[in-house]
Amino acid sequence: MAKFARLAIFCVAFVVSSTSCDVTSGTGTCDCSEAIKRLQKSLDNLNDILSQSTVVITRNQAATSCPNEIKTYQKAHYKVIEEDGARWRLFWWYKANTTWPALVSDVLQDKYGDCDASAPYCFGRLPEALMENQAEMLGIDSADNAYRWKFNSNNRVSHAVWEAFHDHKDAQVKNVDVWNPKVIRGTAPKAAQDSFHYRMEHGVRSLQIDDDNCDCLTSLSMGHGMCLEGFSTQYGPENVYGVDLLYDTYCNTPKPSNGLFLYFRDDDDCMNVTCPANKVCVDGIYSYVCVDA
Ligand SMILES: *[C@@H]1O[C@H](CO)[C@@H](O)[C@H](O)[C@H]1NC(C)=O
Ligand SMILES: *[C@@H]1O[C@H](CO)[C@@H](O)[C@H](O)[C@H]1NC(C)=O
């Protein structure tokens, strides 16, 4: 931190000292274009340094002690489970037979931590602190299918799903890279999952992982049914919202009688930690804090 502050001060000093005009010999006029170019370059460098130091500050806060981190973390006291040899924390859920909330227009509308843990649904996103190539997601539906996905920034389907769940970005990738889940319980998807879209359909920003961007043989499907750029009533009725089961027998569309729970992998960072006397360890995301007991 201190190193970056010194570097930034040095850089400002450099910028200021290098802005004097170069007097070109001959005409005697003041040519500032070189100085302006240098200034621009220094500002660009300064910007880089500042953005790097912001990252470092964020990381340091996460790794040592930051009241906001604790607050965010404790606010999201969502359920933790053990499954397939790992620890998982809930972040998105829709209990079967919940009436679809008429006001909801986005299946990823909630920032991580903003839901009431006892609510019948939570359209939450992944925590911002999660890192793509270390992140994993677990889905368990009301028919007890359980799928596990490992994010991979080099897989275009995985990356688009990550950007939707983590960065709240719309997406449409079709027949690109296969991103199949590991099946923990239940039945594997019938077709290679190489397509994904997240976009508005019938008033609700919905998403779907499948083989062709159209309501059959999906693995993850929530919100309203979608087929290519629209919806096809061949597969289900209009204006029905909910989730599809992870294992889609053929062409099922999302409906409210299905339930779905999504978790992210959340290792216990307190596992090997011994806090000083009278402090207790609070687990974060790739971090922990020792707080007063
Ligand atoms: C949802 O409701 C239907 C109809 O009452 C019932 O058959 C079904 O078992 C319920 N689903 C779950 C998962 O509770
Ligand atoms: C705790 O220690 C064990 C054994 O060294 C190691 O395998 C594990 O990854 C550690 N866990 C954490 C969260 O640091």
DSSP 22-48: EE-TTT--EE-HHHHHHHHHHHHHHHH
Q: Which residue puts its alpha carbon closest to atom 2 of ligand 2?
A: 272
- Whether the model clears a pTM of 0.85, i.e. scores above it, the answer is no
Tell me, in angstroms, the distance from the centre of ligand 2 to residue 273's CA. Answer: 10
pLDDT score, position 176: 98
CA distances from 69 to 12, 58, 123 (A): 31, 10, 21
Tell me, in angstroms, the distance from the centre of ligand 1 to residue 145's CA. Answer: 16
Residue 64 Cβ < 6 Å to ligand 1: no
pLDDT score, position 284: 87
CA distance 189 to 169: 25
Residue 60 Cβ < 6 Å to ligand 1: no
Tell me, in angstroms, the distance from the centre of ligand 2 to residue 271's CA. Answer: 7
pLDDT score, position 38: 62
Instruction: Identify whether the C-beta of residue 213 lies closer than 8 Å to the C-beta of residue 231.
Output: no
Tell me, in angstroms, the distance from the centre of ligand 2 to residue 236's CA. Answer: 48
Residue 98 Cβ < 6 Å to ligand 1: no
pLDDT score, position 135: 98
Domain boundaries, the chain: 2-19+29-51, 56-265
| Protein residues whose CB sits closer than 6 Å to any atom of ligand 2 | 267-269, 271-272
pLDDT score, position 8: 42
pLDDT score, position 161: 98
Residue 143 Cβ < 6 Å to ligand 1: no
**Given ligand 1 and candidates 94, 97, 142, which is best to mutate, with the most ligand atoms within 8 Å of its CB?**
97
Burial class (CB in 10 A: 0-12, 13-18, 19+), 54: exposed
Atom in ligand 2 nearest the alpha carbon of residue 270: 13
Residue 259 Cβ < 6 Å to ligand 1: yes
Residue 96 Cβ < 6 Å to ligand 1: yes
pLDDT score, position 293: 85
pLDDT score, position 107: 98
pLDDT string in tens for the chain (293-residue length):
344 444 444 333 433 333 333 333 333 344 545 655 665 665 565 555 444 444 444 444 444 444 555 545 554 689 999 999 999 999 999 999 999 999 999 999 999 999 999 999 999 999 999 999 999 999 999 999 999 999 999 999 999 999 999 999 999 999 999 999 999 999 999 999 999 999 999 999 999 999 999 999 999 999 999 999 999 999 999 999 999 999 999 999 999 999 999 999 999 999 999 999 999 998 888 888 999 88
pLDDT score, position 33: 58
CB atoms within 10 A of CB 182: 13
pLDDT score, position 34: 60
CA distance 82 to 95: 20
CA distance 243 to 236: 13
